[in-house]
Amino acid sequence: MRRELHFDAVVIGAGTAGLTAGARLAEAGARVAVLTKGVGSTHLAPGTVDVLGYAPERVSEPGRALEDLVRSRVDHPYALVGRGCVVEALQWFGERVAAGPFPGYRYVGGLERNHLLPTAIGALRPSALIPETMAAGDCAAGGASAARVCVVGVRALRDFHPALCAANLERAGVDARSVELNLALDRADQNALGVARRFDDPGWRAWFCAELSPHLRGEERVGLPAMLGSTDPHGVWSDLGRRLGRPVFEIPTLPPSVPGMRLFEVLRSSLRAAGGRLILGAEVVGAERSGERVSSVQAHAAGEERRYLARWVVLATGGFASGAIELDSRWVTRERVLGLPVRGAPGADEPRFVSTYLDEQPLARAGVAVTGDLRAEGVENVLVAGAALPGAAAWREGSGEGIALATGFRAAEVVSEAEGARAGQPGRSEAVV
Amino acid sequence: MSTEAGSGLRDDELPGLLRGSLDHCVKCTICETACPVSNVTPLFPGPKYCGPQAERYRVADEPSVEWSVDYCSGCGICTQVCPQGVKIAEINAQARNKIKREHGVALRDRIITRPTVLGRLGTPVAPVANLSLRLRPARILAEKLLGVHREAPAPRFAGRRFSRWAKRHTSPRTGRKVVYFHGCGTEYYEPWEGEKVVALLEHNGFEVEVPKQDCCGLPLQSSGLFDDARRTVLRLARALAPFVRDDDTIIVGNATSCTLMLKREAREILGLADDPALKRVSERTWDICELLLDLHDRGELRTDFRPVNETIAYHAPCQQQGHFIGKPALDLLALIPGLEVREMTARCCGVAGTYGLKAEKYEIAMKAGDALFTQIRASGAPSVACDSETCRWQITHATGRPSVHPIDYLHRAYGL
């Protein structure tokens, strides 16, 4: 017997784009496998859905800025999917969170206005759709509150320094101060997930609040590193608000990101609920073509590689950061998984990098060349989603999750539409053959 | 250090490729989010510190500089979740082995890692052996003398051996042959599991061959006894390989950690990648659920299932996840009418083969499994399905709920 598996669609990559595409395809009735080398970007990102934060000035109304972007930047991923698709994708995501594995947990906001959320170092970051647990941290004019922010840290938590966070917030014009608790944990050094697991325990929460309460003053709102529970964020966050008698909010931490892990779990369980399969450790190491189609991909497995045959392939492997696109020592840029052509890389005589690290790097907009409906150029049945797409400098724009969600969503729609047309049905089809 | 038959490599020459992977580590901490051990004890600082970071300080021919890696349970989850392909668990297994080579191996670890010997000794005197494994004074003595924790879950000797049943059993001649690797758990403790595997395969048209076979060496490997583990797994590979006569014949096993040993761990951790018999066996070995779901995907699995009106919790053990095949048991169980399956998302039961039996590690293993035990209790499911026997024993020990291999439910639903 050979290890050959047949699917309607194979999605490569299990970040936000891949899981969204996989879940949507499965919901539309397709047999889907999501193949992934390991756990990806979700666990490193803050867990917010940033749609458009800078264009290039800071954006306060992302919906309006998005319309301008779609008109003026025809090569941008948002221009390929359109504003309507972004709206639908956010809506879909919100519903999946509500139906997901965390009772009561929800996201708030949308395209009307950006929240301005404190980062771990006290910068203000614009974001459109955010976990409810972060909402009270909004520092935008007309936002949640103008009350003073009290940034609370725990000494053993690595990479979070409340005094630094509060001082930088002050510099950004936010009334802020800090408290650092020196709580006895069983180790000198702990990450956010380790503390989050303690918050799962009501007894520990009560003790934590008793330790913290004497340090709080007046009408302050309390900003804590994003570590409010690993299994029941809504319950933990609500409980803390009740016990402390004031608004409480999470501030995203350096990795690992607890809210990012929740986002992964929401999308993973949506995929599973619709019957899709997630296959961890299945690094794609080769592909077969027949004519202008990719007919199968080979993926790593213990013992012997497995061959996945599929009518459709969604490439959601990320960009340079994940290693899916590489620049070699001969200055050749290539897509590493399927060997697809890359667009947007600087030419041989143009600079690839600029010396100011945090500025936009010329290489940043490189990605897999696609047609208007996200199909890889020259390949009929491969769709590209997320950071693998060219045309965006997501980390400068504050658009990474928005692009991932919208293009993952759209890639699934393109497949459903094509399969619907193939089956002779008019318009969009809910069933993929 | 000894030179090993089969590999031709010294232990400290093995890890070149594994070690090379550490340069891919970007310190993203994803392995830390998943490690069941470092999340519950400060004694193990975690896969990232002990693996790619500490490895830079480990020099061949110089003594180990610190020992915390001995608290790694070897579950392998870190390698599974790493997005950069760093062989974290494999690097840590090498480091653990180095400590054992320097400082010797406890008598306990030489005993509990030999299921074949234990099985042969215990089977003829099963009632007495089972009683003494459950007698408090005997267990206290075993803890004091050997360091096997008095509370640790001990399996029961069945008192009969699966291979004896298999010898008497004749599989109908269908011409579609499959080689059954049953492992020690089935041989000595749960022979009925093997009988069910055979019945399921025969029900689906296979002619089942059961070669004479011994342990795969995994317990030895996970306790750092690499030389013994190599000898053991190569002996097994040589016993199974002659049965794989053509490209259509496969080996199938229900002991998911033992099939993983054959598929991958012996080749990657013990450095036996080039042994021809092992390579053949490795490539042709399938997990039972992997095979059955594959048959179903091809439209070749019989689906004459009767309803089983029950709710069960399903836990995919770490070693099953190490096959990199997803969770086929979930899709198989979903085929059974009436059966409601709750997928447990907590990753590990803590026991990791023999780790949770050791006196100094028992408490850690119980804490490592606590997230899973809590989920199981909260699921409302009265029983649990899980692919690995040691994990099942640990789950039952911790939750009081019976646990069986997922194929038990298929067997029942077929009415066999």
Q: Which residue of B has its CA nearest to A304?
A: B283
Q: How many other β-carbons are positioned within 10 Å of the β-carbon of residue B374?
A: 16
CA distance A150 to chain B (A): 28
CA distance A104 to chain B (A): 17
Dihedral over Cα of A64, A70, A76, A79: its sign: positive
CA distance B75 to B349: 10
Least confident of A214-218, A232-236, B121-125: B121-125
pLDDT of residue B247: 84
My answer on whether omega of the bond before A256 falls inside 30° of 0, hence cis, is yes
R_g of chain A computed on alpha carbons? 22
A44, B28: Cβ pair inside 8 Å? Answer: yes
Q: Which residue of A has its CA nearest to B318?
A: A280
Average pLDDT, chain B: 91
Q: How far apart are the first and last CA of chain B?
A: 52
Dihedral over Cα of A253, A257, A263, A266: its sign: negative
> Which amino acid type is present at position A234?
H
Q: In chain A, what residues touch B258 (CB-CB under 8 Å)?
A: none
| Fold category of B297-414 in CATH | Rossmann fold (3.40.50)
pLDDT (tens digit per residue) in A143-195? 667 899 999 999 999 889 999 999 999 999 999 999 999 988 878 888 999 99
Q: Is the pLDDT of residue B407 over 50?
A: yes
pLDDT of residue B13: 55
pLDDT of residue A420: 85
Q: In chain B, what residues touch A299 (CB-CB under 8 Å)?
A: 324
Strongest mean pLDDT among A419-423, B269-273, B346-350: B346-350
Say yes or no: do domains B11-103 and B297-414 share a fold.
Answer: no
Per domain, the residue ranges of chain B are 11-103, 297-414
CA distance A207 to A319: 44
Q: Is the pLDDT of residue A209 over 80?
A: yes
Report the residue from A194, A272, A280 with minimal CB separation from B81. A280
Q: In chain A, what residues touch B294 (CB-CB under 8 Å)?
A: 1, 3, 5
At B289 the three-state DSSP class reads: helix
pLDDT (tens digit per residue) in A358-416? 888 888 899 999 999 999 999 999 999 999 999 999 989 999 999 999 999 999 999 99
**From residue A407, how far is each of A84, A89, A389, A400 by CA, in Å?**
12, 9, 9, 11
The chain B residues in contact with chain A (CB within 8 A) are: 28-30, 32-34, 39, 41-42, 79-85, 247-248, 250, 260, 262-264, 282-286, 291, 294, 297-298, 321-327, 330-331, 343, 345
A33, B326: Cβ pair inside 8 Å? Answer: yes
Give percent above pLDDT 70 in chain B: 96
Q: Inform me whether the C-beta atom of residue A187 falls under 8 Å from chain B C-beta atoms.
A: yes
> Which amino acid type is present at position B140?
I
CA distance A276 to chain B (A): 10
A38, B81: Cβ pair inside 8 Å? Answer: yes
CA distance B323 to chain A (A): 5
Q: Inform me whether the C-beta atom of residue A280 falls under 8 Å from chain B C-beta atoms.
A: yes
> pLDDT grade, residue B14 (50/70/90)?
low
Dihedral over Cα of B255, B258, B260, B263: its sign: negative
Report the residue from A40, A191, A323 with minimal CB separation from B29. A191
pLDDT (tens digit per residue) in B71-82? 999 999 999 999
CA distance B86 to B83: 8
Q: Is the pLDDT of residue B9 over 70?
A: no
Q: In chain B, what residues touch A197 (CB-CB under 8 Å)?
A: 39
Q: Inform me whether the C-beta atom of residue A42 falls under 8 Å from chain B C-beta atoms.
A: no
Q: Is the pLDDT of residue B6 over 70?
A: no
Report the residue from A37, A303, A322 with minimal CB separation from B282. A303
Average pLDDT, chain A: 93
- Provide mean pLDDT across the span B213-228: 91
Q: Inform me whether the C-beta atom of residue A103 falls under 8 Å from chain B C-beta atoms.
A: no
Contacts 24+ apart (CB under 8 A), A88-96: A88/A409, A89/A20, A89/A405, A89/A406, A89/A408, A89/A409, A89/A410, A90/A49, A90/A51, A90/A128, A90/A129, A90/A405, A92/A24, A92/A409, A93/A20, A93/A49, A93/A129, A93/A405, A94/A129, A96/A23, A96/A266, A96/A267, A96/A270
Report the residue from A3, A261, A279 with minimal CB separation from B33. A261
pLDDT (tens digit per residue) in B170-186? 999 999 999 999 999 99
CATH architecture of B11-103: Orthogonal Bundle (1.10)
Q: Is the pLDDT of residue A290 over 70?
A: yes
At A373 the three-state DSSP class reads: coil
Cross-strand pairs, B383: B312
Burial class, A15, CB count within 10 angstroms (exposed 0-12 / middle 13-18 / buried 19+): buried
pLDDT of residue B103: 87
pLDDT of residue A432: 42
- Provide mean pLDDT across the span B22-31: 91
pLDDT of residue B10: 52
Q: Start-end ranges of CATH 3.50.50.60 in chain A?
A: 4-96+262-422
pLDDT of residue B107: 86
Write the ipTM: 0.93
Q: Which residue of B has its CA nearest to A40?
A: B83
Q: Per 3-state DSSP, what percentage of chain B is helix, strand, and coil (rounded to 5)?
A: 50, 10, 40
pLDDT of residue A425: 52
CA distance A45 to A50: 11
Residue in this structure with the two tokens 């600079």, named with its chain if needed: A351
pLDDT of residue B56: 86
CA distance B297 to B293: 6
CA distance A115 to chain B (A): 27
At A116 the three-state DSSP class reads: strand
CA distance B237 to chain A (A): 13
CA distance B285 to chain A (A): 7
pLDDT of residue A188: 80
Q: Is the pLDDT of residue A429 over 60?
A: no
Higher-pLDDT residue of A345 and A142 is A345
pLDDT of residue A424: 64
> pLDDT grade, residue B12 (50/70/90)?
low
DSSP calls for A163-195: HHHHHHHHHTT--EEEEEE----SSS-B-HHHH
**CATH 3.10.20.30 for domain A4-96+262-422:** no
Q: Is the pLDDT of residue A426 over 70?
A: no
Q: In chain A, what residues touch B283 (CB-CB under 8 Å)?
A: 303-304
pLDDT of residue A305: 95
B324, A37: Cβ pair inside 8 Å? Answer: no
